Amino acid sequence: MDTISKEKRSKVMSAIHSRDTLPEICVRKMLWRAGYRFRVCDRRIVGHPDIVIPKCRALIEVRGCFWHRHGWEWDGRKLVETSHCPTATMPKSNCSFWREKFRRNVRRDAQHERDWAELGWNLIVVWECGLAKSRDRERTFRFILRNLAKWERK
Ligand SMILES: [Zn+2]
């Protein structure tokens, strides 16, 4: 048996290529209310980051924990779990398929992070689990606004 239901997986899969996921919309609304203006999924920037805030030279990536492997890192040979996110489960069937997909995603994300750093972008990665409960969400939002304010002053 898989650890996530078929229904949930198809939801996860359908969210992958969508630019308007709920967690992302919730971050955008917060930014808008806080007075920040931004571009969404900018095709001119490598990796098409989710949210671009030119005033702060900042990018915000809103990542799904399952698909982007929250808590997992590529050590050069395999993915290793460095912290535990309950949503980043490993499906029990089609293991090699999922491992390969996850490996590609994590490496692609890491490559984009290096590209953006080289281009001088400030980056905030927001994980969807940090937006699920209102207390976590408030903490995540404070973290984002604190960093944006810092980068805006420079
Ligand atoms: Zn997570």
Determine, yes or no, domain membership for 64: yes
Determine, yes or no, domain membership for 1: no
Mean per-residue pLDDT of the chain: 89
**Which CATH number fits the domain that encloses residue 94?**
3.40.960.10
93 C-alpha to center of ligand 1: Å?
Answer: 21
Note residues around ion ligand 1 (Cβ under 5 angstroms): 65, 70, 85, 127, 129
Total of domains in the chain: 1
User: Is the distance from CB of 39 to CB of 132 less than 8 angstroms?
Assistant: no
Determine, yes or no, domain membership for 124: yes
Determine, yes or no, domain membership for 130: yes
Query: Of the ranges 40-44, 78-82, 118-122, 125-129, which one carries the lowest mean pLDDT score?
Result: 40-44
Which domain range does residue 91 map to?
A: 6-153
75 C-alpha to center of ligand 1: Å?
Answer: 19
Determine, yes or no, domain membership for 16: yes
- Dig out the tokens for 140 from the structure: 């995540």
Quick: pLDDT tens for 103-149.
999 999 999 999 999 999 999 999 999 999 999 999 999 999 999 99
85 C-alpha to center of ligand 1: Å?
Answer: 5
**Cβ contacts of 80 within 8 Å, gap of 6 or more:** 72, 73, 74
Compute the distance between CA of residue 87 and CA of residue 64 in angstroms, rounded to an integer: 9
pLDDT at position 42 is: 86
pLDDT at position 88 is: 95
114 C-alpha to center of ligand 1: Å?
Answer: 21
Section 69-98 average pLDDT = 93
pLDDT at position 76 is: 86
Determine, yes or no, domain membership for 128: yes
Determine, yes or no, domain membership for 96: yes
Determine, yes or no, domain membership for 142: yes
